[in-house]
């Protein structure tokens, strides 16, 4: 049976930290689905189709990774996709409490679900989508923090020279 893992998130926008986690994860499974949540609590900067296109442009070719979106409960989506494996990233201890809570809640909703935590490269351990958006909005340089396609989209969005 081929093993499919799901890496869910808001990805508003996709950063080099997300990319790092995706690349580390796909090595362990036959296929990885990057799954964009459509029911974000905060108003996103990029629409779901924009986020999907940016992720697709940011992935190296030839990898067993697809990008999808879902609404509703993550555990229901995982079941529909025939996967019991969720990937989440852990940057620092500050992520741990929320991630533990989500992992245990998801397990309560579907006991078959397993959440696997991956640590990014140190250079991305401080990186958040929120910080990237703030830097870009204020005209700061996001080189090395996001893929080039995301940088271009941020420039277009904020209409300045990063």
- Nearest distance from C-beta of residue 1 to ligand ADP, angstroms: 26
Give the sign of the dihedral formed by CA 124, CA 125, CA 126, CA 130: positive
Number of residues that bind ligand ADP (CB under 6 A): 16
Catalytic residue among 52, 88, 91, 151: 91
Which residue in 29, 52, 58, 91 binds ligand ADP (CB under 6 A)? Answer: 91
Is residue 54 a contact residue for ligand ADP (CB under 6 A)?
no
Residues β-bridged to residue 130: none
**Which residue, among 4, 6, 24, 8, has the nearest Cα to 16 in the 3D structure?**
24
**Which residue, among 74, 64, 69, has the nearest Cα to 102 in the 3D structure?**
74
Q: Is 129 a catalytic residue?
A: yes
Which residue in 4, 5, 6, 9 binds ligand ADP (CB under 6 A)? Answer: 9
Active site residues: 18, 42, 91, 129
């Amino acid at each position: 049976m081929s093993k499919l893992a799901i890496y869910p998130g808001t990805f508003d926008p996709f950063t080099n930290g997300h990319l790092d986690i995706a690349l580390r994860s796909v090595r362990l499974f036959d296929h990885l689905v990057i799954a964009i949540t459509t029911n974000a609590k905060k108003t996103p900067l990029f629409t779901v189709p924009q986020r999907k296109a940016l992720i697709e442009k940011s992935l190296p070719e030839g990898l067993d990774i697809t990008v999808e979106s879902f609404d509703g409960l993550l555990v229901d989506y995982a079941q529909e996709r025939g996967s019991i494996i969720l990937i989440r990233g852990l940057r620092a201890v500050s992520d741990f409490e929320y991630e533990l809570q989500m992992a245990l809640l998801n397990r309560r909703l579907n006991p078959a679900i397993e959440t696997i935590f991956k640590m990014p490269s140190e250079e991305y351990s401080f990186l958040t989508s929120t910080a990237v958006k703030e830097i870009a909005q204020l005209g700061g340089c996001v080189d090395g923090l996001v893929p080039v396609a995301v940088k271009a989209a941020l420039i277009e969005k904020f209409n300045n020279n990063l």
